[in-house]
Amino acid sequence: ISLDEAQIAKKRHIVAKLLAEPGHKALEIGSGWGGMAMYLAESSGVDVTGITLSTEQLKISKERAARRGLAGSVRFELQDYYHLPADQRYDRIVSVGMFEHVGRLNYRKFFNKVTDVLSDDGVMVLHSIGQPYPAVYNNPWMDKYIFPGGYIPSLSEVLPAIEKAGLLVSDIEILPMHYAHTLRHWRERFMANRDKAIALYDERFARMWEFYLAASEMAFTHEAFHIFQIQIVKKRTAVPDNRDYIYEREAELYAFEQGRMPLEQIAG
């Protein structure tokens, strides 16, 4: 499977777990370059609001949505999740690759906000890098050069915060090796374009980024990290009793993708 195919498969798998239906209102916390929000809107007929703290990603996301004729169903806003109005409700919430930046001291605050804005029959899917046990300390090199203030959570740190917010965990999936393969593809693509990176930045940056990708790949390969997806609800009846619906919905989404105009080659 290619990196581009894997990226679509990730969206397909997450959207299948959301059980989104036409007419639903959805929220994406940490909308990146807009790819997930647009896929969700196009595949499921939902109204999506994506929030981000990046002005650059906000600009590009809006441009991409406009080019696809989605300006009426997908909106992107520059907003912190903590400042979402408590009286605004969403039927579906998704967050991919953002939770690593929340910080463990803010987990209660994060899930309390989810409780505020998720409808009573709503479903959330949280996709994050995780580790098998709580960290004693952050890697100082990563903290300084790559992800300042970031923290990789363990499930033992996340689940209590979910429970204390009055939410229920309806499904957990661990993806142990997927990100190792992703990082290998990223590293190979970066090395193929290393000269371009040096022209944009410098040799020092290129060495730093190469080291980051290689070290991260090894961390996933040797089980220091993994990916987890947590499906969260307020009521058990919000999702079916078994997981068959995930694979049935994925088949429907795959059929939808065959007639879908591909996104531009931008991460997200």
Residue 262 domain-assigned (yes or no)? no
Q: Give the total number of structural domains in the chain.
A: 2
For the chain, 268 residues long, give each residue's pLDDT as a single digit of tens: 899 999 999 999 999 999 999 999 999 999 999 999 999 999 999 999 999 999 999 999 999 999 999 989 999 999 999 999 988 999 999 999 999 999 999 999 999 999 999 999 999 999 999 999 988 778 888 889 888 888 999 999 999 999 999 999 999 999 999 999 999 999 999 999 999 999 999 999 999 999 999 999 999 999 899 999 999 999 999 999 999 999 999 999 999 999 887 766 555 4
pTM reported for the whole predicted model:
0.94
Based on the domain organization, do 97 and 24 belong to the same domain?
yes
* Three-state secondary-structure class, residue 229: strand
Residue 267 domain-assigned (yes or no)? no
Residue 199 domain-assigned (yes or no)? yes
Q: For residue 91, which phi and psi values (nearest 5 degrees)?
A: -75, -30
The H or E element spanning position 94 is strand 90-96
Based on the domain organization, do 123 and 163 belong to the same domain?
yes
Per-residue H/E/C for 40-64: HHHHHCCEEEEEECCHHHHHHHHHH
Based on the domain organization, do 138 and 27 belong to the same domain?
yes
Residue 236 domain-assigned (yes or no)? yes
Return the bridge partners of 29, or none.
51
Taking phi over 0 as left and psi of -120 to 50 as alpha, with beta for the rest, 264 belongs to beta
Taking phi over 0 as left and psi of -120 to 50 as alpha, with beta for the rest, 89 belongs to beta
Residue 149 is predicted with a pLDDT of 84
Domain span at 64: 3-176+225-257
Based on the domain organization, do 137 and 207 belong to the same domain?
no
Closest C-alpha to 232, from 175, 163, 154: 163
Residue 263 domain-assigned (yes or no)? no
Based on the domain organization, do 82 and 195 belong to the same domain?
no
Based on the domain organization, do 206 and 115 belong to the same domain?
no
Residue 265 domain-assigned (yes or no)? no
Residue 264 domain-assigned (yes or no)? no
Based on the domain organization, do 167 and 87 belong to the same domain?
yes
Based on the domain organization, do 140 and 233 belong to the same domain?
yes
Residue 234 domain-assigned (yes or no)? yes
**Domain containing residue 98: CATH number:** 3.40.50.150
